[in-house]
Amino acid sequence: MKAARGSVVSKKGTPWGTIIAVVGIVALLATVITYYMVKSAPQRDQASREEAAASFAPTASDPDPSKRIPGVITGNYTGSVHVLPTERVAYDKTPPFGGPHDQTWATCTGIVYPNAVRTENMVHALEHGAVWIAYNPQQITGDALNLLSFRAKGKPYTMMSPYPGLDKPISLQSWGHQLKVDDVNDARIDEFIAALRSNPNGVYPEVGASCDAVPGQFDPDNPPPFDPSKPGPDAKPMDYKGSTAAQGEGGTVPQQPSNPASAPATPTK
């Protein structure tokens, strides 16, 4: 009797190497996607805030929508009153949002200044339609500072800087308007910006004026520093009318004729 011939069954081994490689790739992709989702979340959140504030954009029938924002205070200031780079102004508000100012404006092309900037230059930028976001550097730090900077960085007619000694965490200024808030997530921040940044309806003196840097006069990478001391008795008062030497726009001081009495008056803006 012949022995039964045994059958040989071929078995394939489990491809653990391939499985591990695939799992590794999937995990890596998940990590990358999660990273970019987390990183882009603040931008998406800011886009949502701006969309929510769109109803505060100015129109011909609603020229100053900031009047609908609780907490906004206003003031009337005469524009184009300039002081020299060596002079200071005794402002009536902190931070100021109008009044005499330096003849050269601070660059306001979406710049986030890391250090406090001379107030007289910042006020001039407001005259051009900019919104100035000031913050107390002792109260706004870390994630809050990053969230606030999204409101300014790269946005035309916007600038942001620390303001030492500020009585609130955040203060927003446009010419003749101010809003102070406690929380970086306050919706009124975006409403204020939507209503007043480069508003075309004449809520600031120099509609259409530039926010670009003035070559040779204002360096946004090395701006004139903020002076925290109280203005002295020689500071220009809020009712200062300006002088001929200080009226040049953009830092250009007009040349004085040798015989001023015989020369025509220099027009001011």
Domain interval for residue 176 = 64-238
Of residues 16 and 81, which shows the higher confidence score?
81
Under DSSP, the state recorded for 117 is: B
Written as one string, the DSSP assignment of 182-238 is S-TT-HHHHHHHHHHTT-TTSSSS-TT---S--TTT--TTSPPBP--SPP-TTSBPT
**Contact in structure between 168 and 136 (CB atoms under 8 Å):** yes
Does 259 fall in a domain?
no
HSE-CB for 104 with a 13 A CA cutoff: 22
Domain count, the chain: 1
Does 110 fall in a domain?
yes
**Greatest distance between any 2 Cα atoms in the chain:** 141
pLDDT in tens, 101-110: 999 999 999 9
Burial class (CB in 10 A: 0-12, 13-18, 19+), 94: middle
Does 82 fall in a domain?
yes
C-alpha distances in angstroms, 131 versus 13, 122, 255, 266? Answer: 68, 10, 32, 30
Does 180 fall in a domain?
yes
At 17, is the pLDDT very low, low, confident or very high (cuts 50, 70, 90)?
Answer: confident
Does 48 fall in a domain?
no
Residue 153: is its pLDDT beyond 80?
yes
Looking at the DSSP bridge assignments, the partners of residue 132 are: 159, 173
Q: With the C-alpha atoms ordered 234, 240, 244, 245, is the resulting torsion angle positive or negative?
A: positive
Three-point CA angle 66, 126, 153, nearest 5°: 85
Token representation of residue 84: 């020299």
Averaged pLDDT, 179-203: 97
* Residue 1, pLDDT score: 56
| Average pLDDT of the chain, as a whole number | 87
Does 80 fall in a domain?
yes
C-alpha distances in angstroms, 68 versus 30, 43, 210? Answer: 45, 26, 28
Does 261 fall in a domain?
no
Does 51 fall in a domain?
no
- Strands of 101-140, DSSP E: 101-102, 109-112, 131-135
